[in-house]
Structure 1
Amino acid sequence: MATMKPNLIEELIERVKAWPESAQGDLAQAVLEIEADIERGMYGATYTPTPEEAEELRRRIKELDDGTVEPVSYDEIKAVFAKYRR
């Protein structure tokens, strides 16, 4: 993409506020998908957890390994994302 002009994102956000609600919803979904792609490293950026997040991940992985908690299914995860991505 070409170099963005200063304040372009802010200008676009202001214009989007005047869009129909369904168009705003489509944009929000596209932004969430891009954000997920970024988190998966598709844009070269990867997420580095904070020390606290890393510790929480280690604790939860240990719980799974120990059998303290049961893993959830892919469909259960999809349902949670569907519920909160509205």
Structure 2
Amino acid sequence: MTKLFEQAVETVRGLAPEMQDDLARMLLQLAGKDQPVFQLSAEEASSLDQSLAQADRGEFATDEQVSAIWAKHNL
């Protein structure tokens, strides 16, 4: 293992477990190892279902609502 790689691993050890797992998946994917499809939590799946249903009904944010969010976050 190279010194740079060892430095990267040591840095990642200090991150939250979720971030460590995300980085590990990316590294494995870059190395050519297929990774399982990401699994949504029950709460995330429910939120996604609600969003898809809203889109199916044509319920989208207005231009004014989008502009307000952008302004709120200085975008």
TM-score normalised by L of structure 2 = 0.39
- Greater RCO (Cα-Cα under 8 Å, separation 6 or more): 1
Q: Which has the larger radius of gyration?
A: 2
TM-score normalised by L of structure 1 = 0.35
